[in-house]
Every structure is written in structure tokens, then in C-alpha cells.
Amino acid sequence: MRTTAKQLKAGGIFVAIGAFFLATSLSTLEIGSTLRMGPGFLPIVLALVLVALGLGVILERRGGEDEEETRPVPWRGLVFITLAPLLFALLVKGWGLAPALLAMVATSALASRMMRPIQVMIVTVVLTALALLLFSYLLQLPYPLFASTLATMAG
Amino acid sequence: MDILANLVLGFATAVTPENLLYCLIGTVIGTAVGVLPGLGPSTTIALLLPFTFALGPTPALIMLAGIYYGAQYGGSTTAILLNLPGEPSSAVTALDGYQMARQGRAGHALAIAAIGSFAAGTIATFVIVLFAPVLTSFALEFGPAEYFSLIVLGLIFSVALAHGSVVRALAMVVFGLVLSLVGTDVTSGEARFTFGRLELADGINFVTLSIGFFGIAEILRNLETEGRAGIVTKVIGRLMPSRQDLWRCVPPIARGTALGSILGILPGGGALLSSFASYSLEKKLSRTPGAFGKGAIEGVAGPEAANNAGAQTSFIPMLTLGLPANAVMAMMVGAMIMQGIVPGPNVATAQPALFWGLIASMWLGNLMLLVLNLPLVGLWARLMTIPYTWLFPAILTFSAIGIYSLNGNVFDLYALCIAGVLGYVLMRLGCEPAPFLLGFVLGPMLEEHLRRAMLLSFGNPAVFVTRPISAGLLLLAVAALVAIALPAVAKKREKVFVE
């Protein structure tokens, strides 16, 4: 029986992560002895185990029940779902909570292939309003709705 | 303190208006997310973690617990009406429950599921009351070596009882352990793997990882299969089953409760394994095994009782040993740590009101669920028609704001995106997030106990096998590993999850 692509990828990820942590701990952390363990002791041991398990994932024989993934990768979703919190992060300090929320909800709504433009707009407006009501009004989170209101109050 | 005094304290804590309110909120949210396809208790609890900060530890934990067992109730509703298990643990309920719904007996199936769950929840609460103090006093005798071995055993067991590849699950555990070491080393004060980022000095944020792995990754996973919807059974029919049907369901409920209570205590078991085990047991014991899969009421009653009992008793190792049995319990441990409570056997003695209040609230919560669920089932069923296109932007908004409100730090939002994508890629490759989270939560404890054990034994690692309790625990862990490696067991294990 041969190794499937899935096994190779999964195992590869673990080997890479393990190797990365192993290299970092070996170069920056002290191992110490078993009596007085340095900060590097457990990281080195665990990183080695992780590399070994990664190889194990690649070599493991599974009785044919590990079928290859047939579901398509939602590329569109991946792009928009990761973009949305990033936009929020970029806007919340400089522009305020309301614009940041609006941008985030709109971007995330675009992640679905099933949504027509008009639906995206409705979802965006309704969810942003609900979120502002919940977080700003009910939960009283201490972030200004618009950054400029803070600026005018200060100036 | 005897059991009665403990119970009085527990109920006195649980019936304060504040705690009652959060118990109700928790069970309502739990039922709702159990019903909503694509949103489960782990995701919800992860999403709500940042907002529990403001509450005291007791109401926070009562609410989170309510979400967990509430979702077991809600999950069966979708399984019966839609053939779509809202939760993995109600997958078995769908087998016979959906068939009953198609025969116009949806009401009976829903009612017996709720009754079975309530009976099991009540009994399981008493199991906790009886067993928790025993385990606590036992665990108080543990030294660091025993604790280290116990954590290893817990992690291995959670892997052995999880479904899918054992090697992958183990790798996920170790990956979680490794990531938990990021940040300042408590003993030496040295920064580990922070790469000069101040934001990493306190370690990777547990909440960020939970939301990334359970919230964001789940959204991506669900976007894969967009546009496939089930058909809702509109007719619910009469609710109360006939007296004859009820009578027939007593033994399955009793057996399911017993199975669930035992399996729930084991790490990694909890609700999921219990319901599968109960279904195969009922099928085996039945005089008419052919009726199973065609709408046998016993096939709904047993597994539903089992998954609720399992959900309840999985609190036992978390409360008494600080050892989470599944991802939800890992998040409860995380919530405790955020509230400044050190999980472990000391919780029962240092925080008796929290400990017994939480347990008492579970029984009250089950009562609320019974009252909430049966008359309102039509309302809950309508929740299922909320399209996922509305849900996932809301989930994402909740995630981002929750994370941002923790520290007011945008770095956490970047970390969220990375965790989400990584979690999704790993999930696609057949690596489940639950073992990862267990490893991440237990990592710091593991290192601390290892260090202390080594100091006490003057650096001699033999201490783990020369102390009898520690040796016994490790032996069990090895036995579990060997057992799953055996081909015969491996085959049987696959079969249990396929059925």
C-alpha cells in the first residue's frame, strides 16, 4: 500500500513544525540537566517527538479507509474570511468601531458563493446594526463608534 | 462535609437570581446552537469565552456548562426532524429518529429524546455528587510524578477513544503541547519562541487559538459544502408517546444512562462515544433487531440518554483533577484559568460554592431544558431555516470583536487568521482540532509537574515507574496504545464509529 497525498501533506506539516521548533530551541534555549531542566528541555524533547510522529503519519498504513478529500477548497471563502478580520484590525483604531464592523461584515458576506449582491447588502446592514446594538449599547464595549468623534471631543 | 450539606450549598448557590439567569441563558443558547446546523457547542463556547471575563467565575462556568448540555438536547431536534445531526453525538439519533419522523411520529421521537435526556441528566448529576468527592480526595494525595503520569494517561486516552487516525491525533496533541510552551518560561524567566514580539511574552492566547481552530476553521469547512440543504419535516404530530411506548423505553434509558455515565468519565469519551455504544448495545439486546434503522423508539431513547449522561459525567475529571476530557472541557479549564482559579483537586475545597453550585445548576438546567424544549419545539425547529449565509458573517463578527475586546490588541486578530487557516488545513488533512486543544491546555501543567518531579527525585527519571500509582497510570497509558495498535481492536474501533 502506498502513502496517500493526504498523509504526505499532514505528516509534512508536523515534521516542518517540529523541525522549526527543534532548530529554534537548539539555537536559543538552554537544555539543562534532568535535575535542573533548562527552558529548552521540554521543547527539544517534544519537537523531536513531533518530528517522529510526523514521519509516523506519512508511513502509517491505514486499511484503505483514508480516502482522498473530494470536497473542493473554498478559495473564495478562504480569501474573504481571512481578509475580514484583517480589515477590522486595520480600521478599528483609525476609523472607529462602526466603519470597521461594516467593512468586516461586508467582506465576510462576500465569502459565500450563494449570496447575490443585494443579499450581501442586506446582511451587511442588518448584522452591522445588530452588532453595534449588542456590543456598543448592551455590552458597553469601550471603543468609540467613530474615531473622529473622539478626535473632535479631544480637539 | 457530607453529601447533603454539599448539595444544600450547591442548590443555595445555583438558585441565586444571577446564577439562575445565566443557567437559563446558557441552556437557551445551547439549545439554539444545537439546532443550528454548522454551529456546535465547542464553537459557541469558544466565541463566548472573551465575554465571560466580566462575569464572576460561578455564573461564567454555569453558563458555559449550560451551553454544552443544552446543545445535546438541541442536536437531537435537528437529527430527528431533518436527518441532520446538529451535533456529532446525535448522529445515531438520526438513524431511527428521522425514520420515526417520516412515519409521522416526530413528536414521539422528540418527546422520548427529551425525557430520556432528562432522566439521564438527573441520574448523572447524582453520579457526579457521589464520585467527585472520592476522586478529589484520591487526587489530593498525588505528588508531581503521579500528576505527570495522569496527564500523559489523559492525553493518550483522549486519542485512543477519538475517531480517525491515532497517529495523527497524537501528533496534534504534541503540536498543542509545543505551542503551549511559547512565551516566558515560568521557572527561568527566559522568553521562548517569542521572536522579540512582546505580544507573545504571555504565550499564545488560548481564546484566540480556540476561536481560530473551532470558529474560523469550521466556517471554512462549511463553505466547502455550501448549497446543500435538507428537507424539514413539517408535521411534528402528537408529542406524548403512548404509555406502552414509554414503558418500553425505560430499560434502554437506564442502560444508556449507565453506559454514558461510565464512558463520560473517560478522557476523550464523553457524549459521542456513549451514544454510539448505546445504540449497538440496544440493537444487540433487542428481540427485533431488524426494526432498528426503521424507526425503533428504543434506538432514540438509549443513545439520547447515553449522550446526555456522558456529557454530564465528562465534568468529573475536569472538576476533580483539572483534566479535560474533550475540547469543551478544555475550554472550561481555560475559562477557569482566566478567572484566576487553578483547576485541580483543590477547586472542591477552595471553591466549594463554585464546585457544588455548578453541579446543582446542571440538574436545574436539565429541568429548564425539559420545560423549554417540549412545548417550544416548533419554535426551535424554525431556527433550522436560518440560512448559513446569515450565520457565518455573524460568527466571524463575534469572533473578531471578542478577540479584540480581550486586550484591545490587533496582533490577536492576525493570530486569529493564522490559527483559522492552519486549523482548516489540518482539518482537511484529517487532523481533528480537539486533541490539539487538550495538549495546549495541559502543556504548562505537564512541564511544571515534570520539573517538580525531577527536582524531588534529584533528576532521576525512574521516579515515574518506581512510584506505584504513577507506574500504574503509565502502564494503563501504554496498554491503551498497544491495544489500539492491535489489528483486531483497530478494526473493531473503526466499526464502532462507522455504525
Mean pLDDT for each 10-residue chunk of chain A (155 residues)? Answer: 82 96 90 83 94 92 64 89 93 89 93 85 91 83 73 46
Is the C-alpha dihedral spanning B40, B46, B51, B57 positive or negative? positive
State residue A148's pLDDT score: 63
Cell numbers linked to A120: 450581501
Task: Kindly report, residue by residue over B473-489, the tens digit of the pLDDT.
Answer: 999 889 888 887 776 56
Contacts of A37 in chain B (CB under 8 A): 187, 450-451, 454
State residue B499's pLDDT score: 47
Residue partners of B117: CB distance under 8 A and separation at least 6: B72, B73, B76, B304, B305, B307, B308, B366, B369, B370
Contacts of A91 in chain B (CB under 8 A): none
Distance CA A11, CA A66 (A): 14
Burial of B157 (0-12, 13-18, 19+ CB in 10 A): buried
Domain extent, residue B331, equals: 3-498
Intervals of chain B under pLDDT 50: 230-231, 499
Instruction: Count the domains in chain B.
Output: 1
Rounded to the nearest angstrom, the minimum Cα separation between A155 and chain B is 23
Cell numbers linked to B76: 437531537
Contact across the interface for A105 and B397, Cβ inside 8 Å: yes
Distances (CA, A) of B196 to A131, B177, B191, B192, B417: 35, 21, 9, 10, 20
ipTM over 0.85: yes
Q: Is B169's Cβ below 8 Å from some Cβ in A?
A: no
User: Nearest-CA residue of chain A relative to B168?
Assistant: A57
Contacts of B220 in chain A (CB under 8 A): 74, 77-78, 81
Distance CA B116, CA B302 (A): 7
Contacts of B460 in chain A (CB under 8 A): 34
Going by the DSSP 8-state scheme, the letter that residue A32 receives in this structure is B
Contact across the interface for A93 and B410, Cβ inside 8 Å: yes
Contact across the interface for B178 and A21, Cβ inside 8 Å: yes
User: Nearest-CA residue of chain A relative to B227?
Assistant: A114
Contacts of B414 in chain A (CB under 8 A): 86, 89
Of B171, B387, B414, the CB nearest to A14: B171
State residue B186's pLDDT score: 81
Q: Using an 8 Å Cβ cutoff, are B343 and B333 in contact?
A: yes
Contact across the interface for A81 and B220, Cβ inside 8 Å: yes
Q: Using an 8 Å Cβ cutoff, are B271 and B308 in contact?
A: yes
State residue B209's pLDDT score: 92
User: Nearest-CA residue of chain B relative to A63?
Assistant: B491
Of A60, A90, A111, the CB nearest to B167: A60
Distance CA B118, CA B76 (A): 13
State residue A155's pLDDT score: 38
State residue A154's pLDDT score: 45
State residue B1's pLDDT score: 55
Distance CA B284, CA A66 (A): 28
Chain B residues 398-427 with CB within 8 Å of chain A: 399-401, 403-405, 408, 410, 413-414, 416-417, 420-421, 424-426
Contacts of A34 in chain B (CB under 8 A): 454, 459-461
Let me know the angle formed at the C-alpha of A106 by A100 and A111, rounded to the nearest 5 degrees: 125
Give one DSSP letter per residue of B37-61, joined into a string. Answer: TT--HHHHHHHHHHHHTTS-HHHHH
In this structure, which amino acid lies at residue B213? F
